[in-house]
Amino acid sequence: MLDLGGVLTQDQNADKADEMMGLLGAGEKASFLSAYWKHRLDYDRGVADHAVYWRRIAADLGLSFPERALSDIVRADLQSWFTMRGRMLDFLGGVQGRVKSLVLLSNINPDGARFVRSQENRGWASYFDELILSCEHRLLKPEPEIYELALDAAGALPGETLFVDDNPDNVEGARRAGLSSFRFVDEEDFEARLKREYEFTR
């Protein structure tokens, strides 16, 4: 099981974050990012759509929301998260068929989920046997239910499953659910740990 953001993709693109700020009319980056993350969980859980999410951010910043810019803000937000790690995509292609099941387990909003499932991403997303996307189930990592859901979808037992995420809280949540798990740092560390500590079996 692999996370998406920060594992298969690079960290958020700073230029796109600046573009979102400009479209929104935000002037101070720390305040913008504070509001951006404050409301992100409801967006990723699927209980707030993008209009509600961005209006909340604008309200926190004391801004009048630019309705005409909403589609451009959503586009910039999506683009900020989808700079793929080529080396990790190579790994997906190489591991397919060597494991019982390959699962994508991601906290992601409805717009991101549609993007992942779109034809544009069919190439890398097709490597996965299951896509467990938080907004589609109203669950978030590190809640235990989302790991159980992913295990059921894969037909796998916790003790035979490895989960990799860049967020330490999500790694710890997976361990509490009985999975083996470690934190993604970079591609070199990921490959070294797999080679040193794990064996792929079907």
Q: Taken in order 96, 99, 102, 105, is the CA torsion positive or negative?
A: negative
The strand pairing partners of 194, in sequence order, are: none
What is the reported pLDDT for 99?
Answer: 94
pLDDT tens readout for residues 74-102: 999 999 999 999 999 999 999 988 999 99
If pLDDT is split at 50, 70 and 90, which confidence band does 191 have? very high
Q: Which CATH superfamily is domain 86-197 in?
A: HAD superfamily/HAD-like (3.40.50.1000)
What is the reported pLDDT for 121?
Answer: 65
In order of 10, 74, 76, 136, the CA distances from 149 in angstroms are 26, 28, 31, 12
What is the reported pLDDT for 119?
Answer: 75
pLDDT tens readout for residues 114-153: 999 987 767 899 999 999 999 999 999 999 999 999 999 9
- Listed by start position, the domains of the chain span 14-81, 86-197
Residues 91-95: contacts with CB within 8 Å, 24+ apart?
Answer: 91/190, 91/191, 92/8, 92/124, 92/127, 92/128, 93/127, 95/200
What is the reported pLDDT for 137?
Answer: 98
Contact 94, 116 (CB under 8 A): no
What is the reported pLDDT for 96?
Answer: 85
Residue 139 one-letter amino acid: L
Q: Quote the tokens at residue 101.
A: 């099941």
Rounded to an integer, the average pLDDT of 14-37 is 96
What is the reported pLDDT for 202?
Answer: 84
> 118 Cβ partners below 8 Å, 6+ apart?
none
DSSP codes, 5-47: TTTTBPSPPHHHHHHHHHHHT---HHHHHHHHHHTHHHHHHTS
What is the reported pLDDT for 111?
Answer: 96
pLDDT tens readout for residues 28-68: 999 999 999 999 999 999 999 999 999 999 999 999 999 99
